[in-house]
Amino acid sequence: MANEIQENEKILDVKNLRISFRTDGGTVKAVRGISFSLYRGRTLAIVGESGSGKSVTSKAILGILAENKIVEDGQILYDGKDLLQIGEDQFSKIRGVKISMIFQDPLSSLNPIMIVGKQLTEAMVLKHKADKKEANHVLKKFDHYLNEADHAAFEEFTAAKDKEGFDLSTYDVLFEEATDLSVEAQKTAIGEILPKLQEIYDTEFQKEVIDFNKAYNLLKPLFPALKKCELGIATNPDNTIAVFPIQAKNYQEAAKDSLKHQKLLEKNLAKYHVNDFFDLPAGVRAKSRETIVSQVEHSNHFKNALTELINHLNDLLGRSPKDIKALAKGMNKAYGEALLLSKSELSAKEAKERAIKMLADVGINEPERRYNQYPFELSGGMRQRIVIAIALCSSPEILICDEPTTALDVTIQSQILELINRLKKEKNLSIVFITHDLGVVANMADDIAVMYAGKIVEQGSATDIFYDPRHPYTWALLGSVPDLNTKEKLNAIPGTPPNMLLPPRGDAFAPRNKDALEIDTLYQPPFFQISPTHRAATWNLHPEAEEVQAPKLVISRIKAALKAHPEFTPKADNMKNSVLNYIKEDKGNE
């Protein structure tokens, strides 16, 4: 079992998701305000009985809810976007690409009349095409940036890359320069000049036509500091110098203008045999400046550029030093990868070789032979392996597994779980694993959300849920998991889940809870925090509620498990209703 939640990166953040469905019988309230986070590289299990809203949740993440849906509320944040708000064109770049899925029935995901190898290579070719398009897009952006920002360096880089094929090290040098100065020093410099720039902007740059001489004199003292921040500097024929972030579009514009000015000026200075702009005949002076770009236009460029500069500096200040370094490194890497990708071709032969390797990767024996078989010729476990291979063709970040092993028998089931676990580690996947069986996720989940009647009733690390469960529904789920060692008979959860057309007023689990309190029938319980990683929504945790113990079966199982694995003892700040509390008190009686 995995460690406690660390403050690592949230890759998916679901906030107050509320989904209903329009039906002839009324509105089905399928998901009633749930919030959870998926962290990078971790597996989140969503566990609950049939009808609790697990699949509706996963379909919402994938944007494949049925037509009669009503998205009542909430956000699904991924990669800076709210998946509930984006259009289908954007979603098609995410679904099956960044977020892949596998479902319970592998046959429904496979084409019955196509050999499995072809289904894999088709997925690869599609992915390859999409990647190439994206790579070219990235390259264009970079080229533009490099071209404008540092022409000489870019030329050198292009020459080197054409001569030797692509060499990342050349590129490294290019960007290392940008991070030469310690990031802290850059930040200090930025912190000093930012207020000054803002002041100059607020005073001098508000006029329709900027007095460049005045602006220059104001900006001049800041140049050394700006240079330290790797900012571009454009000189102008009228002795003004403009300073811009090297990435800013307006810098490029202004720099181009400057260059034109500069050339014209140089020509004129030579032609008139003078050294100074102000020694030029008035008419020529005016021409050098105004015929190319009007003063107002020029002023506007500078205004925009300074605004961008200020924004850019603010942005840099907001980043951590590590971030700034990572930014340069990331750019570096992205360029290298994009370049390689834009040139790569995927031949039919190569695709086949890769497909065969993928089949072997997902544990299919005799992959060459399997490549040519149809789905119906394979066992259920093998089909599910192929579905997994196809899902991974796009190198997704997130894999959603909705009951992927329910249709398989127990031994095959554990092999598929092992496979998913291995692939998760190898490919640093973040997984949402949906199941009605807590037992299935014992060796899979890092974090667990227990769902009942469209709500999350308990949430915590796997250690919290397995070793210190607090909600009577979680107890019931744990009690219904068969014990593999003792072949103990499982206790079915008495009663049935509520009708979601008319969900109960208070705690939806109350009618099935023998310890239910009066308040349960009146008010929804809020979440009670048990530890920083663990919370549960049951009135039994209210400080004034009488303490209720977990069922004996659950306690004895946890006791046995803790004896074997004391390292899994969870940390609980709130001991009310804790199984651990009971076990501690009970120690003397053993």
Ligand X SMILES: Nc1ncnc2c1ncn2[C@@H]1O[C@H](COP(=O)(O)OP(=O)(O)OP(=O)(O)O)[C@@H](O)[C@H]1O
Question: Is residue 28 a contact point for ligand X (CB under 6 A)?
Answer: yes
Q: Which of 436, 512, 534, 557 binds ligand X (CB under 6 A)?
A: 436
Q: Kindly tell me which of 216 and 433 has the beta carbon lying closer to ligand X.
A: 433
Interacting span for ligand X (CB under 6 A) from 53-61, 79-87, 115-123, 367-375: 53-61
Exactly one of 229, 306, 429, 500 binds ligand X (CB under 6 A); which one?
A: 500
Q: d(Cα 437, Cα 105) in Å, to the nearest integer?
A: 17
| Complete DSSP assignment for 191-252 | HHHHHHHHHHHHHHTTSSS--HHHHHHHHGGGHHHHHHTTEEEEE-TTS-EEEEETT-HHHH
Can residue 48 be called a binding residue for ligand X (CB under 6 A)? Answer: yes
Binding mask 255-274 for ligand X (x = CB under 6 A): --------------------
Separation of alpha carbons 478 and 473, rounded Å:
9
The alpha carbon torsion through 373, 378, 380, 382 (nearest 10 deg) reads -70
| Identity of the residue, 55 or 300, whose beta carbon is nearer to Mg ion in the bound complex | 55
**Among 257, 283, 280, which residue's Cα sits nearest to residue 270?**
280
Position 496 contacts ligand X (CB under 6 A): no
Stretch that binds ligand X, among 22-30, 408-416, 424-432, 488-496 (CB under 6 A): 22-30
Cβ of residue 411: shortest distance to ligand X, in angstroms? 22
| Least distance in angstroms from the C-beta of 44 to Mg ion | 16
Closest CA to 554 of 497, 477, 495: 477
Rule CB under 5 A: say whether 55 interacts with Mg ion.
yes
Residues of span 485-524 touching Mg ion by CB under 5 A: none
Contacts for 352-361: CB closer than 8 Å, 24+ residues apart: 352/117, 352/121, 354/121, 354/124, 355/117, 355/120, 355/121, 355/124, 356/117, 358/120, 358/389, 358/392, 358/393, 359/116, 359/117, 359/120, 359/385, 359/386, 359/389, 361/389
Among 55, 100, 119, 533, binds ligand X (CB under 6 A): 55
- Is residue 416 within 8 Å of residue 405, measured between CB atoms? yes
Contacting ligand X within 66-95 (CB under 6 A): 66, 68
- Cα–Cα distances (Å) from 500 to 52, 194, 497, 505, in that order, read 9, 57, 9, 11
Q: How many residues does the chain have?
A: 590
- Closest separation between CB of residue 409 and ligand X, Å? 19
Q: Which does 440 bind (CB under 5 to 8 A by kind): ligand X, Mg ion, none?
A: none
Structure-token pair, residue 193: 């000049």
> With CB under 6 A, what is the number of residues at the site for ligand X?
16
- Asked whether position 57 contacts Mg ion by CB under 5 A, the answer is no
Q: How many whole angstroms separate alpha carbon 414 and alpha carbon 437? A: 13
Nearer to ligand X, 304 or 384 (CB): 384
Closer residue to ligand X (CB): 48 or 460: 48
Q: Which is nearer to Mg ion, 55 or 430 (CB)?
A: 55
Q: Which does 68 bind (CB under 5 to 8 A by kind): ligand X, Mg ion, none?
A: ligand X
User: By CB under 6 A, is residue 240 in contact with ligand X?
Assistant: no
382-411 positions binding ligand X, by CB under 6 A: none
Partner from ligand X, Mg ion, none binding residue 455, C-beta < 5-8 Å depending on class: none
> Distance (Å, rounded) from C-alpha 51 to C-alpha 47?
11
23 forms part of the interface with ligand X (CB under 6 A): yes
The string of DSSP letters for 167-197 reads: -HHHHHHHHHHHT-S-HHHHHHHHHHHHHHH
Q: How far apart are CA 53 and CA 487, in angstroms?
A: 30
- Nearest approach in angstroms of CB 27 to ligand X is 9
Binding part of the chain for Mg ion, among 50-58, 153-161, 198-206, 515-523 by CB under 5 A, reads 50-58
Residue ranges in contact with ligand X by CB under 6 A: 21, 23, 28, 30, 48, 50-56, 66, 68, 436, 500
